[in-house]
Amino acid sequence: MTFDVIIRGGEIIDGSGSVRYKKDIGLRGDTIAAIGELSGASAARIVDATGQVVAPGFIDMHSHADQTVLMYPSGESAIAQGITTSVCGQCGFSPAPLNRHWTACFWEWNWWDKVSPRKYYQEVVADLDMVKKHAKETDGLDITWSSFGEWLDVVERTRPGINIVPLVGHGTVRTAVMGTDYRRKATASEIEAMKRYVEEAMDSGAAGISNGMDYAPNCYCSVEESYEVIGVVARKGGLFSSHWRRTGLRQGLGDPGLINGIREAVDIAKKTGVKLQLAHLSPGYLVSPSPTPKLSVCAAEETLAVIDAALKDGVDLAFDVIPNHQTGGVLHVKYVAAVLAPWLKESGTLEQFAANLRAPDLREEIRQYVLSGKWFNLNPILQPGWANEMMIGKSKAGEFVGKTIAQIARERDQHPLDALMDVICADPYSILSRPSVGSDEVKRVFYRHPLAMVGIDTFLVNVTAEVKVPPYYLPNPNSFGGMARFIKRYALGLLGLEEGIRRITSLPAQRLGLKDRGLIAEGMKADIVVFNPEAVAEKSTDEEPRQYPEGFRWVFVNGQVAMEDGKLTLSRSGQVLRKNAQ
Shortest approach of Zn ion to residue 92 CB, angstroms? 8
Apex 157 CA angle, 155 and 162, nearest 5: 55
- 91/452 with CB nearer Zn ion: 91
Q: DSSP assignment, residue 493? A: I
Phi, psi of 530, deg, nearest 5: -115, 120
Shortest approach of Zn ion to residue 485 CB, angstroms? 19
- 210/272 with CB nearer Zn ion: 210
Sign of CA dihedral 379, 375, 247, 393: negative
Decide if residue 333 touches Zn ion (CB under 5 A): no
Cβ partners under 8 Å of residue 321, min gap 6: 280, 281, 443, 446, 447, 452, 453, 454, 455
Instruction: Compute the residue count for the chain.
Output: 582
- Calculate the dihedral angle through the C-alpha atoms of 406, 411, 417, 420, rounding to the nearest 10 degrees: -90
- 331/526 with CB nearer Zn ion: 331
Stretch 244-303 residues interacting with Zn ion (CB under 5 A): none
Shortest approach of Zn ion to residue 279 CB, angstroms? 6
The rounded distance, in Å, linking the Cα atoms of 244 and 241 is 9
C-beta of residue 439 within 8 angstroms of C-beta of residue 326: yes
Cβ partners under 8 Å of residue 428, min gap 6: 335, 337, 350, 351, 353, 354
- 213/298 with CB nearer Zn ion: 213
Shortest approach of Zn ion to residue 262 CB, angstroms? 14
| Amino acid letter for position 565 | D
Shortest approach of Zn ion to residue 215 CB, angstroms? 8
- 246/334 with CB nearer Zn ion: 246
Phi, psi of 190, deg, nearest 5: -65, -40
Shortest approach of Zn ion to residue 218 CB, angstroms? 10
- 56/283 with CB nearer Zn ion: 283
Which SS3 state, helix, strand or coil, does residue 318 take? Answer: strand
Contact map string, positions 229 to 248, toward Zn ion, x by CB under 5 A: --------------x-----
- 14/60 with CB nearer Zn ion: 60
The rounded distance, in Å, linking the Cα atoms of 419 and 499 is 45
Apex 213 CA angle, 340 and 449, nearest 5: 100
| Amino acid letter for position 28 | R
Provide the greatest CA pair distance for the chain: 79
- 80/91 with CB nearer Zn ion: 91
Shortest approach of Zn ion to residue 254 CB, angstroms? 21
Q: DSSP assignment, residue 492? A: I
Contact map string, positions 82 to 101, toward Zn ion, x by CB under 5 A: ---------x----------
Shortest approach of Zn ion to residue 132 CB, angstroms? 26
Q: How many residues bind Zn ion (CB under 5 A)?
A: 2
Where do contacts with Zn ion occur on this chain (CB under 5 A)? 91, 243
